[in-house]
Structures are given as structure tokens and as C-alpha cells.
Structure 1
Amino acid sequence: MADRISSLPDELVCHILSFLPTKEAVATSVLAKNWKPLWLSVPTLHFNDQNYLQNEDTYSRFLQSVYTVMLLRDASQPIQSFNLECKSPLCNTYIVNVWVTAAIQRKVERLSLSLFFMGNLPSCILTSTTLVVLNLKGLIVKTVSSVSFPSLKTLHLRGVYFPGPGFLFEVLSSCPVLEDLLMSSVLFNESRQINFLPKLIKADISSFRLYIPIAPFCKAEFLRIEVVCMYYHE
């Protein structure tokens, strides 16, 4: 079996490993000699701290494992998908920023970031030219001094807070090819009309506590709005 595994092309091995959680993909390096460096080239990375919440020592192993995967990876080796789910506040804003910056530098195309402690959004995300899919949950967008999403087609926001006036406007107005928009439990302080989104196909909007501008979404092929304590603003 070992010889058969060793004979597989590296590209095929990386494709197979991309379907595994990153921890398990790294563990496969013991199966064959030529597999040892391949986990550093797996295009899909998924990290979840669910099984490391017992104590600080256990959690430090999780943090170290993510650092190892992200920082040992060659900067020229692109990442197709990066998924991070963290429930512990020990995974603080600084740590998340280091990991996400590493993913952005490696031209990540699909980024999913889910935090359960309302961390700050790493600012490097807002100027990514390679992102096609962006899923955010449990984050605060503290600054939008520079925003550019020229390739972004899917944007899903859950429990995201835009505290500054015009912050949501800046983000959506910087997505010229956006096709799929989901906003759930998003809080914002909007003072300007959001631009029309010419490529929008699907919009799913729910659980707002402030007014929501309808005009930018009205020409979507699929439009769903769940009204919860909402004021309409044309």
C-alpha cells in the first residue's frame, strides 16, 4: 500500500488532502516519505478550535498548529480556501490578523471567518484583489479607509457590526461584480445611499434593527427581506 501511495502524483495527493480537516491533512505526512511536505501545498485550509477549549495549555496547541501551517507555507503557494472558526477569546484580534494576512498574501479566493467574541475585522481583507467569496460572522468593521473588492462575487455577513457612518456603503460600493449578498443580524450606521449593485442576482436580508436601503437590491432576481424592527428607506 505504501508503494502505491508513493506513486500518486503530488497534485492528486494535494487534491485528496484538501477534503480533510487541516489537522488530519497534516497527520497524513507519516503515510509516505514523499507526503511529508505536501500538506504545506494543500489549497484548502480549515481550522476549528472546537476540540481545544478544555484549558489554556490545550488551546495553545491549537494556536501553534495554525501558526505552523500558515507561516511555514511558501508565500508563492496560493490558497484557494481559508476557513477559520474560533469560539475562544484566546484567539484574539492580533492572532487572527496574522493568520488572515498570511492567507491574503497567498492570494486566497474563498475566505470564511467566524468568531464568537466580536473580534475586529483584519483590515487587509478589505483590499484583497483575489477574494471571490467572503463569509464573515461575529466581527466588527472598525475602519474602511481603503476598500476594494474587484473580484468579489459572494458576500455573506452574519452578526457583523459597522459602527461608523457610511461604513456599509463603502464596502458594498466597492463590490462591482457582486452577485450573491446575505446580511443577517447586521448593524450599521448608514448616512448615504448605497449604490446600485449592477451584477446582483441574489439578496437575502434579515434581522436589522435600523433602516435598510431597498433600492440597491430591488433588481436582484431573488430578493428576500425579513422585517424585524425595521424602517424602510428609499
Structure 2
Amino acid sequence: MSSSGSIKRAQDDEPNSKRPCDEIEDRLSSLPNELKTDIVSRLPIRQALKTSILSRGWKHTFSSLPRLAFFEHQFLSVPNSSRRLVELIDWTLANRDESELCTLAINFNIFEKPCLTLKSTWINFAVEHNVQYLHIIAQIEETGLPSSLFTCRTLTVFKFMARAQLLKLPSVIYLPNLKQMSLVNICFPNDILTEMLFAGCPLLLLLCIGKCGLDRLSRLTIPCPKLKILWISNCSGMDTCVINLQGTCLENIYYDGPLARNFEFGTVNRLSGVGFNITREPDDWRNDNELAEVAWNLLRDLIHVRELTLNVLFIKVLWEVRGELWQLRSFRNLTNVRLCVWPSVENEEIVMSLLGKFCHVQQLMVIIHRPIGFGHVLRMEMHPEKYNLDGVLKHLEHLEIDYFGGFELEMGFLKFFLGNAKSLTRVILRTPGMIVNSYGDDRFHHDDLNQETADELMRLSAAYPTVSMTVFDVNHTYN
């Protein structure tokens, strides 16, 4: 019995015998390198680092990851988190092999004081390893971003958010493969260097500029020949800056903030979608007439668009030039319109005048902005012969009204199009309470439709059987 036990122990001690853990290790190590890399790339950086101790075959997987992402919020539970995060970035890059780094993302909490500072050495490393996607949210050094970044030939996507710092630009900028760029919370230096930045991106397709400082600029020139989509949102200094667009391929513009001093579209001739959500700052030095002139000139330059969104203030300032609206050429390509309006006779006149020029519109959304405390709604009287609405009444197929409360203005608007729009097949009404529940917007009344209004809508639906009418209320959906 003892001899058999000795034999078994001897067999266990044979060099070729394998323990279960060895078999598991061999199976892990035998996975294809591409699969191991894909697995580790999907993990947060701290967990990804731990995979290097799984087995011998995994030791070098971490050092060749094509995507590296360092997020400060993932280290909040770590003692001395800020120091440890910086050390981890340094160690990871120092121990990386020579393989290409496709993506580098660094996200620091820039709203904390003090906050971590981005090291130029990290950006230089990414450029040297042919980075393609660079996403940075961080405070930058006083010297600015390294000059190597602005001549990176492999970079295709650059997203950068700073701490309201000046973007210091080198004298040479050339990003031949950059297709998307997002700049948030930075300050542009001057007209010339800013124009050089965008001119150095010949293949740029998408540009987002948000919460940036334009105070040092008198003219923001964007000479990107391939640019298709442009976002400009909530930038300071917009009221004193001329925005000059020279890209011949520009298709969509979304603008949010105070109206610029002027807009120059140059050779832009492919615009299809445009949205203007203009605001007015308390220190805006321009009077209503000057704002109306800018808005009027904009409309004249946008007659070829297919989709158009205008907010409350844009429509309001047009009141100053209401006598000139008849001079507008017809928007013959326009098929989709979204208008935000205050419930007033003045805005009704502007809206109807505009619809008279939108002669081929098929989809119309009207958003009624009724702030808290707004009790009396002026009666709206429709005079179609005054506005020459034959075009829109012939082609309109889809009508939506948001913040519909059943007041005389909204009911009059609805009844007018139900009775006169020859091609109308679909009507959607959303009550204020329904929208508040969906989007958390508490600026407007939360009331629901009363029973009298609901009954009136049911009668209208029965009177126009060819039109599919849906009313989204907090408690009911009427069809």
C-alpha cells in the first residue's frame, strides 16, 4: 500500500505532469494576441493593468494596448489619487513597447481646485506613436500644448477641453488627416493664428466650438474646404466678432448664443440644415434694429437650405424689419421647419410672413413658449390672403405643436391648418406637462389639457378623418 502511494507521488513529481492551474494558465496564454488585446482594451485602466499577472502570455499585452484611457473619477477611492494617477500615466507610457497608440484619452476634473495638469511629454509620446484619436480634458501647462501636436500626420480626431485657458498656437500648423475637431472652454489668441489653425486642417469634416473665448478676435475665419458640419455654442465675444465661412462643402450649421456682429458665407452653397438658437447678453451693446439687420441678412443668405430652425429671440428681433420680409425670395428647397414662438400677435405676424416664403414646407414644428406666470394669451386671427400661404398650404404634410395648452392661439393655429392644408396627413400635439416629464424642463406650465379642450380635439379629429391626430398628454394619449 505504501509502495503504491510512493509510485503515485513519484508520478506527481514527474516533470511533464501538469497541475490544473497550469492547464488554465496555458489556455489563457494560448488565446490569440488580438483577442487578448481586445479583452484588455475594454477594461478600465486599473483593471487592465492587473491582467499582466494572469499568466506569462499576458505580461506584454498591457504594454501594447492600442487604446489607453485615464479617467480621474475612476481613482477617487484610491489614497493620494491625483499623485497615483499621474504616476500610473507616466509608468504606462514608460513601459510601453513601440506599437502604435491609436487612442489616448485623458479626463481630469478641471473644475476642482487645484486640478491636475496635462504633461507635454504625454502628448509628445502619443504623437511619436502615431496617435489617431486624442481626447483631452485637462488644464494645460503655461507653455501650452506641445508644437508636435499641431503637425501630427496621423491624428484624425482631436477633442480638447481646457480650463478657460489661452490656446497658444505655433507658427506652423498642418494636420493633414484631421477629420473631427472639438474645442471647448479655450480662448483663441488672435485672428491670424486662429485662421491658420483651421486652414491647416484641409480634410476637416466636423468642427465644434463650445464655450470658447472669441474676445481677442475681430473675425473668426474658418477656411476648411471639406468642412460639412459646424457647431458654435455659447462663446463669449460673439457679439463683436464677424464669422467668416469659406468651405464650399458646408452642409449643416448649428449656432447657439448671441448673434455675431455679422456672418459672411463666402462660397458656401451646399447648406442643407441650419439651426439658430440666439440669446442676448445683458451687456450686448446693440439695439433691436442692429440685431434685426443681422438676422435679416442671415435669412437672405439661407434661402437654399432644406431644414431650418429658428428660436424665439430670432423671430422676435425680426419684428423690427417686418416691413421688409416681403422682399425675401422664396425658400424653394425648404421642406422641414422648426419655429419657437412667444404667443403674441407680433410673433404670429412674423411666423405667418415667414411661412408665406416657405412655399414647399412639408414638415412644420411650432413650439409655443409660455413661461410661468403668463396668463393672458392674445387672440390670433388668421388672414391667409394677407400672407400668401398658398405654397405651404399645398405641400404641408406633417404638423407638430409642442407645449400645446389648448389656448385660443394654439387652437386657432391648429384649426387653420386642418381646414386649409390640402396635403396634411399627420398632426402631433404635446402638452407642457408631457414635455416636462420627458425632458425635465421646468420653465413652463405643467398643466394638462382640461376636459373641454380634450373634447374639442376629439371633435376636430372626427371632423378631419384623413388627418391622423395624436395628442400626448400627461395622463392620456388621444388618437
Compare CA radii of gyration and give the structure with the larger one: 2
In the alignment, structure 2 segments of 5+ residues that lack a partner are 1-23, 265-479
Matched, 1:161 2:178: no
Identity of aligned residues (%): 26
Equivalent positions of 1:1-234 (< 5 A) are 1-52=24-75, 57-74=80-97, 76-87=98-109, 89=114, 91-93=116-118, 96-115=119-138, 117=139, 119=141, 120-138=144-162, 139-188=165-214, 189-191=216-218, 194-210=221-237, 211-216=241-246, 219-228=249-258, 230-234=260-264
CA contact (8 A) 1:186 1:207 kept: yes
> Of Structure 1 and Structure 2, which has the larger fraction of its residues in strand?
1
For normalisation by structure 1, the TM-score amounts to 0.87
Against the structure 1 CA distance between its residues 199 and 125, is the aligned structure 2 distance closer, same or farther, given a 3 Å change threshold? same
For normalisation by structure 2, the TM-score amounts to 0.45
Aligned length: 230
CA contact (8 A) 1:121 1:140 kept: no
For 2:94, the aligned partner's letter is: L
Secondary structure in 1 aligned to 2:168? coil
Note the C-alpha offset of 1:137.
0.3
CA contact (8 A) 1:167 1:190 kept: no
CA deviations over 1:78-122 (Å, ceiling 9, x no partner): 1000000112646335xx21111111110100000101x465323
For 1:179, the aligned partner's letter is: L
Higher deviation after alignment, 103-112 or 43-52? 43-52
C-alpha distance in structure 2 between counterparts of 1:212 and 1:4, whole Å: 64
Note the C-alpha offset of 1:208.
2.1
For 1:50, the aligned partner's letter is: H
CA contact (8 A) 1:142 1:164 kept: no
Relative contact order (C-alpha < 8 Å, sep 6+): which is higher?
1
Note the C-alpha offset of 1:134.
0.2
Note the C-alpha offset of 1:150.
0.3
For 1:83, the aligned partner's letter is: A
C-alpha distance in structure 1 between counterparts of 2:60 and 2:190, whole Å: 45
> Of Structure 1 and Structure 2, which has the larger fraction of its residues in helix?
2
Alpha-carbon RMSD: 2.4
Against the structure 1 CA distance between its residues 6 and 56, is the aligned structure 2 distance closer, same or farther, given a 3 Å change threshold? closer
